[in-house]
Structure 1
Amino acid sequence: MYLINGELTDKLPANDRAVQFGDGCFTTARVSAGNVRFLEQHIGRLQQACEKLLIPFIDWSLLETEMQQLAAAEQQAVLKVMITRGSGGRGYSAANCLQPTRLLSVSAYPSFYSQWREQGISLALSPIQLGINPHLAGIKHLNRLEQVLIRTHLEQMPAQEALVLDSDGWLTECCAANLFWRKGSQVFTPYVDKSGVNGTMRQHIIACLADSSWQVTEVREKLDSLGAADEVLICNALMPIIPVNQAESWRFNSRELYQFLAPLCE
């Protein structure tokens, strides 16, 4: 199901800037029992992205209402929301783009996430590295070719998710998830100020840990840092949190941090 500017249709104009340039942003939310989980945070990330991309979207109350209306009919689903700059001319100039486009879609919730949560997963290093761009880092813009390539390579590996470095070799994230690891009571997650996505679940976990006995720190570390970890986990708005059994050749048996966070992330 697609809802484009309030109309049930699957037709987007060929001159929409999302088609022409990937000019827009998106968020992907989990629907549970007819409700959008972490709705406020998803609206906030879209607002931040539109501000960075200079997209003059103002219909936030309408968008929130549409999100809630689509979710109300679903017991468990995925709700994706895109905001594009709208339709415009051939070139890069946005001068002729007068009305942003809002596009919402609902799809089935991935059934394998429950198995991942129960059994844990493995991570493999991706040969694709993320480009460094501080202005676009953190936000979920529509230019996702890096992730498409990461996923394509991942599908050829015996692992469920990828470990992704930036072009300077710093550990950054996974293909579609953020990364945390624990050493004792210290919890670490990579900075995403130069590349990567500052996911809504990543932000939620950092906030939960800040109010706990765990000590959470954003870091720039190389891949080998995982070798000294007691525990590794990944997260996104849909999973929402998954324990990692193995990353490259390193194995992890602890679920201490996972068991603390799991009920807080539902």
Structure 2
Amino acid sequence: MWIENKKIQWINIRDRAVQFGDGCFTTAAVINGNVRQITAHLTRLKQACNRLIIKFSDWQKLETEMKLTAAYHNKAVLKVIISRGIGAYGYSPSKCNETTCILSLLPFPSYTNLRDQGVKLVLSPVKLARNPLLAGIKHLNRLEQVMISSYIDLHDDADEALVLDTQGKVIECCTANIFWRTGNDIFTTCLANAGVDGTMRRFLLNEMEHLGKICKIVSVEIESLISADEIIICNALMPILPVIKLEDRIYDSRELFNLLVDICKKA
């Protein structure tokens, strides 16, 4: 963890990450000492800082620190947090002069069983607030996801949750983006008002375009997924998983999954 050019061991309790969740983060896979999709993760952090008006500029140093942190680790999760730093009392960021950057390594989760058996989705009663200013970026305010995850924990037969926004539109899962196939048509959700635009989602959209596969970005209600032939979810760590069940609907096709799992190998 470091503030500007000074490494530190502890974060100050006055840091705005602690006080207000004032910052952004990304979570990357470390494989064989390398940070997968490091450019995509840095790009998203830059976009988030621009949106939040956080004056972080030492991107080359951050990239170097990410690579050094990941080196010599066979398989791990690298989490990078950028906070606005320490300011005066109150909400105003005007007294913040130095950003805080936190890098941490975490154990890599296993998705083998879910990849083989498929993911069971439950519909979350917690809905995402619509806010175009914050939509798409991975800011530090994750209370909605905490509440969604708490709901998942109450269901032994659920691995993830399908999340709607406050107008009933399908947005994402608690920790993953979502794609689905109906016939030959492929879809993903519009994230203009809520949700996180994940690095794997971006990668898959770009790769499908190169393959001549049209993925329609749509704003739909849950019925569109219930009637779909296949659903998959994705994030930087999974990287993709097939969905076997949404509420009472069973999905047994893996046509889209088989297409995208090969694409993910390029990430």
Residue 29 of structure 1 contacts residue 78 of structure 1 at CA under 8 Å; is this kept in 2?
A: yes
Residue 19 of structure 1 corresponds to 18
User: Quick one: which amino acid aligns to residue 126 of structure 1?
Assistant: S
RMSD over aligned Cα atoms: 1.0
User: Quick one: which amino acid aligns to residue 132 of structure 2?
Assistant: P
**TM-score normalised by L of structure 2:** 0.96
Matches within 5 A, 1:212-223: 212-223=211-222
Residue 175 of structure 2 corresponds to 176
Runs of 4+ in 1 over 4 A off after TM superposition: none
Shift of 1:258: 0.8
Shift of 1:221: 0.5
CA separation in 1, counterparts of 2:8 and 2:106? 15
Residue 7 of structure 1 corresponds to 7
Residue 44 of structure 1 corresponds to 43
Residue 117 of structure 1 corresponds to 115
**TM-score normalised by L of structure 1:** 0.96
Deviations along 1:60-88, one digit per CA (max 9) or x if unpaired, are 00000000001112100000000000001
User: Quick one: which amino acid aligns to residue 7 of structure 1?
Assistant: K
- Which 5+ residue runs of structure 1 have no aligned equivalent? none
Shift of 1:8: 5.7
CA separation in 2, counterparts of 1:90 and 1:235? 40
CA separation in 1, counterparts of 2:219 and 2:163? 13
SS in 1 for 2:78: strand
Matches within 5 A, 1:69-108: 69-108=68-107
CA separation in 2, counterparts of 1:20 and 1:254? 46
CA separation in 2, counterparts of 1:250 and 1:209? 27
Q: How many residues align?
A: 262
Deviations along 1:130-184, one digit per CA (max 9) or x if unpaired, are 0000000000000000000000011111210000000000010000000110012
CA separation in 1, counterparts of 2:174 and 2:134? 17
Residue 185 of structure 1 contacts residue 215 of structure 1 at CA under 8 Å; is this kept in 2?
A: no
Q: Check if 1:141 corresponds to 2:139.
A: yes
SS in 2 for 1:202: helix
Shift of 1:263: 2.2
Residue 228 of structure 2 corresponds to 229
Matches within 5 A, 1:172-251: 172-251=171-250
Residue 185 of structure 1 contacts residue 214 of structure 1 at CA under 8 Å; is this kept in 2?
A: no
- Which 5+ residue runs of structure 2 have no aligned equivalent? none
